Amino acid sequence: MNLKAEIIAIGTELLIGHVVNTNASYLSEELNALGISTYFHTTVGDNPERIKLCLDLACSRSDLIIITGGLGPTSDDITHEVISDFTQRPLFESPELRQLLLDKFQAFNRPIPEINFRQALVPEGSTLIPNPTGTATGIILQHREATLITFPGVPSEMKNMFEHHVKAFLQNELQQRDLESVIISRKIKFFNIGESHMAEILGDEIFSRVNPSIAPYANLGECYVRITAKAKTKESAETLIQPVINEVENKMQKYIYAYDEDTTATILAKYLIEKELDIAFAESCTAGLLAKTMTDIPGRRGRRCSTARRCRHPRSRRGAGSNTRSSPPSRRTSSRRRRWRGCS
């Protein structure tokens, strides 16, 4: 059995492109690390009827529904109000949340606006998720066969609440349902080949597999495949993945240049370290961008970056009274050299 998750992001600002939804990326990655598969991402504006439609659909197809946004104090922050209407659980003012709001504003030596008390309203039967860095408290609520979890839309607050409270809750749920598992992904990266040619060499059959699954991707200057397996333990998942890695290597060996998170820069850095070589860059119009790709590589002891500039003045001056014409203006030149050296 597999626990299916769905993420609903609420906020008109997301739909009109004013805010990028980084929350969904973070949550999907964290859920994946717990062995929970995210099947759907939904974004909906601040509209009660459309939010209820999304909740109804999510409850019909997902076991875990994570909702971000709409927990603020203003009139367009309606997430808990809509969940109350959707689940037929009346809103009530939590004395605990009311006091918490009073304490937070008192700590800032500021009077609390009456509108902020809207954040103390939650549906009956909710378990509260503390928010140590903000005023928007999340909830955990069971409805039908699904678990609903709400977070504020502010990424830093959401991450803090997930890490310190919700992650442990989900781990406990997986243990109780005997659904503990791990999901492992590996990347194999190719150079000097296009995505379509890569897919043609590997063949259609390999992309139709389920566990492990394999998917092709294209990126700037490279393409790659991601191989993903799910199992009870890390060792079991790696055992599932390894035969597929071997198969891809046999078919694509001459195009492979890196695995997982390695890049052309990190591969070059490893080569320089292995051969005890230095590298220098002379760049024009790039503001040192190429050298930066090397100096940005973390964890390289002994890295050294030096800059040298030399400038020839545009004209050389002759002594007064000389009949010899001065040399024509020369083009100003400057050179910048950066040296990179690393050792393991």
Q: What is the pLDDT along the chain (344 residues), one digit of tens a residue?
A: 678 999 999 999 999 999 999 999 999 999 999 999 999 999 999 999 999 999 999 999 999 999 999 999 999 999 999 999 999 999 999 999 999 999 999 998 999 999 999 999 999 999 999 999 999 999 999 999 999 999 999 999 999 999 999 999 999 999 888 887 889 999 999 999 999 999 999 999 999 999 999 999 998 889 999 999 999 888 999 999 999 999 999 999 999 999 998 988 899 888 888 888 888 888 888 888 888 888 888 755 444 544 444 434 444 444 444 454 545 544 444 444 444 444 33
Judgement on whether residues 8 and 136 belong to the same structural domain of the protein: yes
Judgement on whether residues 161 and 228 belong to the same structural domain of the protein: no
With contact defined as beta carbons under 8 Å apart, do 218 and 172 qualify? no
Judgement on whether residues 65 and 145 belong to the same structural domain of the protein: yes
**DSSP per-residue codes, 193-239:** --HHHHHHHH-HHHHT--SSEEEEEEETTEEEEEEEEEESSHHHHHH
Judgement on whether residues 38 and 160 belong to the same structural domain of the protein: yes
Q: What per-residue confidence (pLDDT) applies to 112?
A: 94
Of the candidates 225, 259, 293, which is a domain's last residue? Answer: 259
Judgement on whether residues 252 and 312 belong to the same structural domain of the protein: no
Predicted TM-score (pTM) of this structure: 0.75
Judgement on whether residues 33 and 113 belong to the same structural domain of the protein: yes
Judgement on whether residues 48 and 124 belong to the same structural domain of the protein: yes
Give the pairing of strands 127-129 and 138-143.
Answer: antiparallel
Task: Using the structure block, give the residue that is written with the tokens 């006091």.
Answer: 99
- Among 234, 233, 187, 244, CA closest to 211: 244
Rounded distance, CA 127 to CA 130, Å?
A: 10
Angle between helices 234-252 and 195-202 (to 10 degrees): 100
- Among 270, 274, 337, 279, CA closest to 299: 270
- Among 259, 188, 198, CA closest to 224: 188
Token pair recorded at residue 218: 């294209």
Task: Using the structure block, give the residue that is written with the tokens 């020369």.
Answer: 330
Judgement on whether residues 275 and 242 belong to the same structural domain of the protein: no
Of the candidates 210, 243, 259, which is a domain's last residue? Answer: 259
Q: What per-residue confidence (pLDDT) applies to 190?
A: 96
Helix (H) or strand (E) holding 289: helix 289-295
The phi and psi torsions of 134 (rounded to 5 degrees) equal -150, -175
Judgement on whether residues 186 and 163 belong to the same structural domain of the protein: no
For residue 195, give the CATH number of its domain: 3.30.70.2860
With contact defined as beta carbons under 8 Å apart, do 226 and 187 qualify? yes
Token pair recorded at residue 194: 């296009």
Judgement on whether residues 280 and 232 belong to the same structural domain of the protein: no
With contact defined as beta carbons under 8 Å apart, do 25 and 58 qualify? no
Of the candidates 176, 199, 219, which is a domain's last residue? Answer: 176
Domain that holds residue 341: 265-344
Judgement on whether residues 18 and 160 belong to the same structural domain of the protein: yes
Judgement on whether residues 221 and 300 belong to the same structural domain of the protein: no
- Among 8, 13, 75, 6, CA closest to 36: 6
What is the number of structural domains in the chain? 3
* Omega before 212 within 30 of 0, i.e. cis: yes
Task: Using the structure block, give the residue that is written with the tokens 């906020």.
Answer: 11
Q: What per-residue confidence (pLDDT) applies to 344?
A: 35
CA atoms within 13 A on the CB side of 105: 15
Rounded distance, CA 257 to CA 192, Å?
A: 10
